Structure 1
């Protein structure tokens, strides 16, 4: 993992890190405040041995206590021999601590007392030296045999401490913050390692070396009006689709087949919306574009664009119509649409047939670019069959929606049969993506989103709803749709009759148009 990737993970998981730090810091603060304060006072005492006066009244002399005796006193000072007299003399009712140390090998002791009250701690430290001196002779045989007594002289009396020695609030809070921070970073890395969904471009790059051709931002408006190239042509969504179009054209330079399959790993990633808007973007550039709905299990191109969908690809493959009869032009543009037609019981067999290969060659010869909307790769084999007919597959991946294992399975399925993957389109990217600056260049007036601007008899502007209905499709709602693979005999006969009637009407309309011309 590179340092930049590490920082990116921390940026994406900053809420986890912040929450962990605050929780541990709050716990450390609560624990610190619940601990009773303890005060510490230290007195430095010099111990000496004094001999009794001689018979003639002369001074017996003063001697320095040996280091071995001082070492013994260090142990004695914390024993009940010293503590009990101190408790009685000072009238102490609560516990206290008492310890001693020899500073640098000198004949002195540093006596340290701890208590819940500052004045009590100083009083204990000052009284401990004389109390220890009274019993010190009992633990020194040489002094006892010589009849010598021990005297304690305070060199540095204990002073009343101004602040408690425990708990150390600043230290505890600092340790709590550092512990919470490290725990948060650990949790962030663990969540990243256990995260099974594609969140960003780096997740895709870790799965494949194929390029990311487009990053399409999330737009709530596209759920109601999926044709963003018409309803909001200057918005960030439309600009991202133009960038996808441009990058796909560069890929086409290497394939020279001028056709691509738009698919996804699983349903609900926005492949149909991407295919429709990508075709509109290519048509805006002046190319003759044919959009083919080859999702024969759950077709939604016709409903998305508000076109007649009862006749189309399956009608041609069954020999009941020609391409000229069922291909529909989109609002006088250079975009033509071939809907899926009625749903067959054997979609994979139809798409893998020789008739489909022949038809695709004929369609490709009449258009500059062919965009094919296909079923997802993981559930069914249809997309793999279609990719072999085209120049490559554009794999649409839904950010924060698609699981990494599904993308890996889709790539494996395509690579197994040698189907080329042209690149990826990362859809539904939340704010903060690399396309976040698009809002800057909304030049001119902004079109009314999702509505057509007209004028009334007085010349006043009015708005009317968009011409295309918002039909429910799996790629726009994000719901997993279960493909209906088999139809009953009665339903299929009715569909065939409807399809035949629709073909006759469309053919008659075309003949009338040619007669008028």
Structure 2
């Protein structure tokens, strides 16, 4: 995973990370507040031996403590032999805990006793008395002291002072560790969620499935209609996104030279028809004659979306019951022409893959500057593959937070298997809010009263034939200028 992909996951799952950081840091703060403060202090002693009774004739000389003896004293500091007398001297309960530890400074006989206690005054008292208690019990653990008539004395080197601040807990450290732990947990959960998420939400989810480019992202606003948005609101964010998709598609068209594409999706309900209709409208504003064909002979939706007659159309022409010019309808006074699906046939795949379909498409390709075909979804049926052979490539519409990754992967695999030309993706239903408006080109203009009400003009049912069978070159001379939708 590249750094850009890593940052994209963090940006997409930032709320999870934030909640984890707040939760773990809050837990750390609560535990710190509830934890009893512990004060730590230390006292240093020099351990030496002296003859206990100089008049005793059995003495064989003063015994010298060895490193083994000192290590023994470190180990037995917390034994009852040492701590029992210490508790009695400090007038503490026999079972009262004492948290003390000892260490030796280098190769010397300097003995450091460190005490931790919730009471700073008591911690200092224990540290200042523990050395003497250990010295009194030393002969119990070193038998040669009695043989040599020697006794261990603890000479104070540095007395323990009363600590002013607790050594535990440390709020800044605990909160810092809580923040880092929350951050790591949040990032971990974010990537687990990203890995286990079954739906496509951003371009990052498409990249592992296909290397083809993202040609456009269409925003989704609940407050606005999804149908014919570019016609209702020509200066809105959705319209700008469609025009951006149109521009990118034109660059792809330069490489294909076919001037025609099909628009499909992996599964139904992902907005392919709405995208195709609005894309065709945007293309018609560039001055070229654009033909929109409803190639979904199983569930045609173009006529319903545009509010035009759909009883006759593509199937009517393929059956030889009418000429293409008789059934192609012009969208208002624009340069967009529509060939609806017509009656639903019992054999859609056979019709779309037939020789009459190829001949019809070749004829239409000479009469129009650009052709868009609304195709059925790829996963359920094979129709999109058959139509791809006629055009310059396939544009795949992906619905954000709706399309499943496995369905998209299956669709891409099917297209690759038959050698279909997948040119790129259009991400539909991208969530957008006011703060994101600038991402989709929200640049408002003065609207006319008709535009502000969102009313559509009536659609003529009787429309002129495209070019009347003339060639593309001869037809351009009589073309009326395109009107911005």
The Cα offsets for residues 384-408 of structure 1, whole Å up to 9 and x where unpaired, read as 1111122221111122322222222
CA shift at 1:129, angstroms?
1.7
Is 1:357 the counterpart of 2:364? The answer is no
Residues of 2 paired with 1:393 and 1:75: CA distance?
Answer: 79
Is 1:7 the counterpart of 2:7? The answer is yes
Residues of 2 paired with 1:464 and 1:178: CA distance?
Answer: 52
Give 1:155-234 correspondences, 5 Å limit: 155-221=157-223, 224=225, 226-234=227-235
Give 1:146-161 correspondences, 5 Å limit: 146-161=148-163
Partner of 1:342: 343
The Cα offsets for residues 144-178 of structure 1, whole Å up to 9 and x where unpaired, read as 12323332222211112222233333322222222
**Contact 2:63/2:144 (<8 A) preserved:** no
**Contact 1:77/1:99 (<8 A) preserved:** yes
SS at match of 2:261: strand
CA shift at 1:138, angstroms?
3.1
Is 1:89 the counterpart of 2:89? The answer is yes
**Contact 1:40/1:164 (<8 A) preserved:** yes
Give 1:68-467 correspondences, 5 Å limit: 68-93=68-93, 94-221=96-223, 224=225, 226-431=227-432, 436-439=438-441, 441-442=443-444, 444-447=445-448, 451-452=450-451, 463=453, 465-467=455-457
Is 1:20 the counterpart of 2:10? The answer is no
Relative to structure 1, is the Cα distance of residues 363 and 69 closer, same or farther in structure 2, using a 3 angstrom cutoff?
closer
Gaps of 5+ in 1: 454-462, 470-504, 511-517
Residues of 2 paired with 1:111 and 1:464: CA distance?
Answer: 85
Residues of 2 paired with 1:464 and 1:123: CA distance?
Answer: 86
Relative to structure 1, is the Cα distance of residues 425 and 68 closer, same or farther in structure 2, using a 3 angstrom cutoff?
closer
Residues of 1 paired with 2:207 and 2:448: CA distance?
Answer: 36
SS at match of 2:207: helix
Residues of 1 paired with 2:53 and 2:426: CA distance?
Answer: 105
**Contact 1:378/1:410 (<8 A) preserved:** yes
Relative to structure 1, is the Cα distance of residues 331 and 107 closer, same or farther in structure 2, using a 3 angstrom cutoff?
same
**Contact 1:245/1:281 (<8 A) preserved:** yes
Residues of 1 paired with 2:216 and 2:422: CA distance?
Answer: 14
Relative to structure 1, is the Cα distance of residues 71 and 149 closer, same or farther in structure 2, using a 3 angstrom cutoff?
same
SS at match of 1:376: coil
Residues of 2 paired with 1:439 and 1:250: CA distance?
Answer: 20
**Contact 2:219/2:440 (<8 A) preserved:** no
Residues of 2 paired with 1:464 and 1:269: CA distance?
Answer: 24
SS at match of 1:29: helix
**Contact 1:304/1:468 (<8 A) preserved:** no
CA RMSD of aligned residues (A): 2.9
SS at match of 1:206: coil
